[in-house]
Amino acid sequence: MVETYKKAVVVGANGIIGGNLIAHLVELGDWDVIGLSRRGGKTSGKLSHIAVDLLDPADAKAKLSGLTDITHIFYAAYQDRPSWAELVAPNLAMLVNVVKAIEPIAPNLEHISLMQGYKVYGAHLGPFKTPARESDANHMPPEFNIDQQNFLEAAQKGKAWSWSALRPSVVVGFALGNPMNLASVIAIYAFMSKELGIPLRFPGKPGAYDSLLEMTDAGLLARATVFIATNPQCSNQAFNINNGDLFRWSELWPKIADYFELEVAPPLPMSLNMIMADKEELWKQMIIKHDLLQTPYSDVSAWGFGDFVFGWDYDFFADGTKLRRAGFHEYVDTEEMFIRVFNDLKTRKIIP
């Protein structure tokens, strides 16, 4: 059997999702990979990087003009903004600029993969229908995920390439310099609690401790993304992707405390963004005391992101069976996932 040539562009290469996807593609061995990001990266083997401002159409067209042999575009970029309405313009523009720069010059383009999330279901707005399903109705805009999907659907009509949309839950993994990682939030919070000699308290809203949740392992997401992009039965549709199990913080939190050798005290609602704002000096002291990697405090944890996740005082999960029916059957134990990422943070000397 003759192997077909596969060359992927991963947009958002330095994020948790993009970084883990690149690692998976490189490990597979039969992909050439180009990572796109604002700050670029190191070339190694079949992996190269392009530093590009995707908000600038001219820069995108110029920097990506040589990508005539691309077969797959994996889009996982994200620009944060203060409000839901402000998220639309930049996040739609980046996708449009990538597709308009590459699609017309890449005759062998097979697939464009779009990373979304449960925002499609309104999960960020408040209690939503659970389990959420890919067939659920859209909610009142603004919602950039839907605008991005609408753009892809329209652009694909009459073309040989196909699209897909992946909808993970909270993605947990590791990405250097990207603090939007729940495992990092928990780990830094736990070790600072330990350093201060206090027990580990769940800081979320009342009710969030007992809500039913799920997570998505970054490695599992990478494998699912490639499966969907390379199997025709998955073309031109959306898929939820999650670990496959459900949990409540009330059950998992004491196990996390055990891992960090901490006692558990009753939950106490508090904003991590506020109470951790003055802990930079403590972090610097911990780096010296425990001989940790010199990592800026701003790079190790996004406390506002932690507040967001710990604020879900409602059930937060989606039906993942559509992807299993399409042939992808992998799953991940969420408790084991957290322990694995905590161990990875230790190995990398991010935490003691």
Give the pLDDT confidence of 81-126 residue by residue, as tens digits.
Answer: 999 999 999 999 999 999 999 999 999 999 999 999 999 999 999 9
Q: What integer pLDDT is reported at residue 175 of this predicted model?
A: 78
What pLDDT score does 178 carry?
75
Residue that is written with structure tokens 């005290």 in the block: 265
Residues 297-326 have pLDDT tens digits of 999 989 999 999 999 999 999 999 999 999
Evaluate if residue 149 carries a pLDDT over 90.
yes
Amino acid code (one letter) for 100? K
| Percent of the chain that is helix, strand, coil (3-state, to 5) | 40, 15, 45
Query: Are residues 227 and 337 located together in one domain of the fold?
Result: no
- Cα distances from 330 to residues 210, 232, 320, in angstroms, run 27, 19, 11
Predicted pLDDT at 282: 98
CB 182 within 8 A of CB 170: yes
Confidence (pLDDT) at 144:
98
Indicate if the alpha-carbon torsion angle 189, 191, 194, 199 is positive or negative: positive
What stretches of the chain adopt beta strand conformation (E)?
A: 7-11, 32-37, 47-51, 72-75, 111-115, 162-168, 170-172, 215-217, 237-241
Examine the domain organization and report whether 228 and 158 are in the same domain. Answer: yes
Q: Are 52 and 59 contacting, i.e. CB atoms less than 8 angstroms apart?
A: yes
Determine, yes or no, domain membership for 324. no
- The 3-state DSSP class for residue 200 equals strand
Tell whether 146 is covered by a domain: yes
CA pair distance 345, 184, nearest whole angstrom: 8
What whole-number distance in Å separates Cα of residue 144 and Cα of residue 296? 31
* Together in a domain, 153 and 290: no
Q: What is the pLDDT of residue 3?
A: 63
The pLDDT value given to residue 342: 96
- Supply the pLDDT for residue 1: 44
Burial of residue 15 (CB within 10 Å: 0-12, 13-18, 19+) is buried
Please tell me whether residues 35 and 55 are part of one structural domain: yes
Question: What number is the average pLDDT over the span 276-282?
Answer: 98
- pTM across the whole model: 0.97
Q: pLDDT tens-digit profile of 208-219?
A: 999 999 999 999
The answer to whether residue 174 scores a pLDDT higher than 90 is no
Token pair of 329 as six digits:
């059957």
Q: Are residues 148 and 258 in the same domain?
A: no
Query: In terms of domains, do 132 and 237 share one?
Result: yes
Q: Reply yes or no on whether the pLDDT at 249 is more than 50.
A: yes
pLDDT digits (tens, 9 = 90+) for 5-40: 899 999 999 999 999 999 999 999 999 999 999 999
Q: What letter represents residue 248's amino acid? A: R
Which helix or strand (DSSP H or E) is residue 103 part of? none
| CB distance 200 to 192 below 8 Å | no
203 plus 294 within the same structural domain: yes
Residue 192 has a pLDDT of 98
How far the first Cα of the chain sits from its last, in Å, is: 49
| 250 & 309 share domain | yes
Query: Any idea what the CATH number is for the domain that residue 232 is in?
Result: 3.40.50.720
Mean pLDDT computed over every residue of the chain? 96
User: Does 13 share its domain with 152?
Assistant: yes
Domain that holds residue 109: 7-171+216-241
**Number of domains comprising the chain:** 2
